[in-house]
Structure 1
Amino acid sequence: MDENMMSQGGTQADFIREELNFNIDSEDPVTKASLNDHPVDEWIDIFGNGQLKKRVIRKGENGTRPNRGDICTLNITGKLEDSKVVEEYENLVIQLGDMEVIQGLDLAIALMDVGEVAEIVVDPRFAYGKHGKRPIPPDATIIYTVELKTSELEPEIEMLSINQRREISNKKRERGNWWFTRMELPFAIQCYRKALEYLSSTKSSTNQSEEEESVSDAELQILLEDRIKVHNNLAAALIKTEAYDAALENVEHVLRCQPQNVKALFRKGTILRLKGEYAKAYAIFTEMQKLNPDMKIFTTELITLKDKITKNAEKEKQLYRKMLGVVQDKNSSKDGKADDKSKREFAKGVLWTLIGAASVAAISIFIHRFTS
């Protein structure tokens, strides 16, 4: 911001309007939250609906707000509305925007400067929701005191050692698992995909010792095993969201490396069943039953699939017959039966009429002969 304007008592909003010739409403909640010159102790309603609020307790260094992907070090204390402390972290390191903390904090920290201490009130929707988390009860509003100690740029993956990449990736995978157990599937998927980024590169690291010119086969194998775990977990989350093609792609990644991976085979069979490809699913579960004959779940799946295949085959047979005109539809069949019944009744009526007429004629002749 222009130092002269600041010295004259101008605000950041004034600078944007007058110097950048851009009209903004400084009282709009979202705009107000994004400006970094609001007074200490003034509450900022970030969404404008009271579900996420922030106030500065101690100002930080102006212009040092972290960006998405930055590595932030934080001190955090969380209390319930009755002042009971339920969360406390010292020197917690997170990657901003990667859902490594609850959503409300992830959003509010992006509006803090380095060195700032802020109070952040998070509605249950953006905290732990209806599930809660021990010792946090369900549907609890949490009041946080947060200090943003440092903010650094995200390191380039190729600059990290194998162990560093594995450590970061495992942290993100475990966070994805946590979101998965809470059925927060979009967040779980985001964490799993980020975890894969740290396991994808096979370039040599500048942090390796001079004797190691490239990644060893043993290290590659370790990375591969970690990738398999993440792909399997990602596939499970994608199945839950009915993103079957994407889930199948992740399963195939695993099976290319480990053709007999039980989790991957089971998920592939499940995906094919859910897509209605019953014959292919049956083949997968048959293979799994051979590999694991004691697993009853495979037998159950095979029974279910066999029934579906039989029913599908019968439906197709009926469809072909109908297309060839061999079988009438139900309505025409009923109408045909009704017509046949009417015809039979009509024929009976005609027959009895003829018999009656013949009888009358015979009696008339007999009477005529004996009376004439």
Structure 2
Amino acid sequence: MDAEDIKPIVEAGDHGYAANEARKGAVNDVQQDAHTNACNGSVDHNMETEDKDDDSDTCMPELIDSHPSMTTPDSPPITNGDTTRKEEGATTESKDNDEPPEWMDVIGNGQLMKKILNEGQGAATRPQRGELVTLKSKGLLEDGTEVDCHEEVSFVLGEGDVVSAWDLCLSLMDLGEVSIIKTSPRFAYGILGRLPDVPPNAEITYELELLNVQPAPDPGEMTIDELCLAGDKKRERGNELYSRKDYSGAINSYTKALKLFEKAKVSDDDSAKLAVMELKVKCYNNLAAAQLKIDAYDPALKSCSNALDIEPENVKALFRKGKVLASQGEYEQAIGTMKEALSREPSNKVIHNELSRLTNRESKERQSERQLYQRMVGDMASVTQINPRQKMNKWLFLALTIGVVILAIAAALSTQRFKSES
């Protein structure tokens, strides 16, 4: 089963002191991926459409290799309030310190709650980030519709391959434990939902059973085909996150995919080498597009260069490189790169439009520079310019000064002669 089919939620809780300590550790371990993949699994944010193996000769593919199901703005944090949770019976402390709480507030804001139905084998059996976990899952919407039902589904914990709720809660579940998890849309499918079964802003209640925990496969021991398959799933996951505008999560997935592709050591097998190179170019292109979305221009430029190192005439890499250069204000280089892309796809209207836009923008920039220069030169000329009246006054003052000096000298000489004669 593909990791993309899984739509988990956020984190889970334990009971008593041990639960609190476990929650702290799990939140710290998963915090980075939970932040960048705030709506994983099926809950990501957005993405263009790119390496699709192409749409048409007249349109530049957007960003990914598969069409996104939806494209809407980022889902904002949704706060349901602790009052509602309390009305449902959710509590974070029990009246009796010896009794575990019925519900645990995993995040501390009422948006992710966990309740143990059947105890597991103890805290020592909890999965760690980077381990391969297998679970049984069943989700229910508020109207009773079942979603994300799996007898067995496996994924690497903390990799962002599933919704955040699962990644977070599984870090706090014992092996064999069965728990109920109530998640707000923020940690499930967010404002977008998931067509056709999950509506926008849907709260989901999951029943999860942790079936197995084992070390994740070692990339060094995987075959080229296995590495390509695993990396391509990461790439597709990145595409899904991109389509949901979760650009940080998409960058994370593309980067992990590229790391797997780098492990694929191809020898003289031309077909295997070609397959790996093709996947790497797709990832670099999509990575650059996601980096552009968060204004990470230097990394985006590097991603474009990496793609062009593999395939120098790749139109998508040239197109994105031109956009990166334009975003950095390098219009002359951007126009040159865009013209190079257009020379390889002369009928591509997207490139035509972008090139026209850059040309107009460069023209306006140059005009603004000329106007600024003219103003500066004009100001300097006005400061140094002297009118005729000022010139006349200057010479008059100089003549008077010289006359006064001469009279003073003559008076001094007369006085000295008078003294010598007497």
Q: Report the TM-score when normalising by structure 1.
A: 0.73
- Flag the 1:91–1:115 CA change in 2: closer, same or farther, 3 A: same
Paired position in structure 2 for 1:172: 234
Separation in 1, partners of 2:16, 2:111: 25
Cα-to-partner distance string for 1:40-72 (whole Å, 9 max, x where unaligned): 782111112111111111122221111111111
Q: Are residues 1:155 and 2:208 paired?
A: no
- Flag the 1:32–1:254 CA change in 2: closer, same or farther, 3 A: closer
Q: What displacement does 1:144 show?
A: 0.2
Paired position in structure 2 for 1:283: 336
Report the structure number with the largest CA radius of gyration. Answer: 1
- Flag the 1:39–1:169 CA change in 2: closer, same or farther, 3 A: farther
Paired position in structure 2 for 1:50: 110
Tell me if structure 1 keeps the 8 A contact 2:165–2:188: yes
Alignment of 1:84-163 (within 5 A): 84-134=145-195, 135-163=197-225
Separation in 2, partners of 1:112, 1:29: 9
- Flag the 1:39–1:33 CA change in 2: closer, same or farther, 3 A: farther
Separation in 2, partners of 1:272, 1:33: 41
Separation in 1, partners of 2:101, 2:193: 29
Q: What displacement does 1:176 show?
A: 1.0
1:196 to 258, 283, 292: 258
Separation in 2, partners of 1:152, 1:27: 24
Tell me if structure 2 keeps the 8 A contact 1:238–1:246: yes
Separation in 2, partners of 1:32, 1:300: 51
Q: Structure 2: which 5+ runs fail to align?
A: 1-14, 28-97, 388-422
Separation in 1, partners of 2:25, 2:126: 15
Tell me if structure 2 keeps the 8 A contact 1:33–1:46: no
Separation in 2, partners of 1:70, 1:217: 34
Separation in 1, partners of 2:271, 2:159: 29
How many residue pairs align between the two structures? 300
Paired position in structure 2 for 1:358: none
Paired position in structure 2 for 1:70: 131
Tell me if structure 2 keeps the 8 A contact 1:78–1:86: yes
Paired position in structure 2 for 1:318: 371
Separation in 1, partners of 2:331, 2:225: 43
Paired position in structure 2 for 1:242: 295
Q: Secondary structure at the match of 2:207?
A: strand
Separation in 2, partners of 1:199, 1:32: 31
The amino acid that maps onto 1:105 is W
Q: Secondary structure at the match of 1:317?
A: helix
Paired position in structure 1 for 2:379: 328
- Flag the 1:114–1:29 CA change in 2: closer, same or farther, 3 A: closer
Separation in 1, partners of 2:314, 2:162: 32
Tell me if structure 1 keeps the 8 A contact 2:224–2:265: no
Q: What displacement does 1:282 show?
A: 0.5
The amino acid that maps onto 1:238 is Q
Alignment of 1:254-273 (within 5 A): 254-273=307-326
**RCO higher in 1 or 2 (8 Å CA, sep ≥ 6)?**
2
Q: Secondary structure at the match of 1:54?
A: strand
2:281 to 228, 238, 251: 228
Q: What displacement does 1:191 show?
A: 1.0
Tell me if structure 1 keeps the 8 A contact 2:178–2:208: yes
- Flag the 1:318–1:253 CA change in 2: closer, same or farther, 3 A: same
Separation in 2, partners of 1:156, 1:39: 41
Q: Report the TM-score when normalising by structure 2.
A: 0.65
The amino acid that maps onto 2:152 is N
- Following TM superposition, the consecutive aligned residue runs of length 4 or more in structure 1 with deviations greater than 6 angstroms are 26-29, 38-41
Q: Are residues 1:300 and 2:353 paired?
A: yes
Q: What displacement does 1:316 show?
A: 2.8
Q: Secondary structure at the match of 1:327?
A: helix
What fraction of aligned residue pairs are identical, expressed as a percent? 38
Q: What displacement does 1:234 show?
A: 1.0
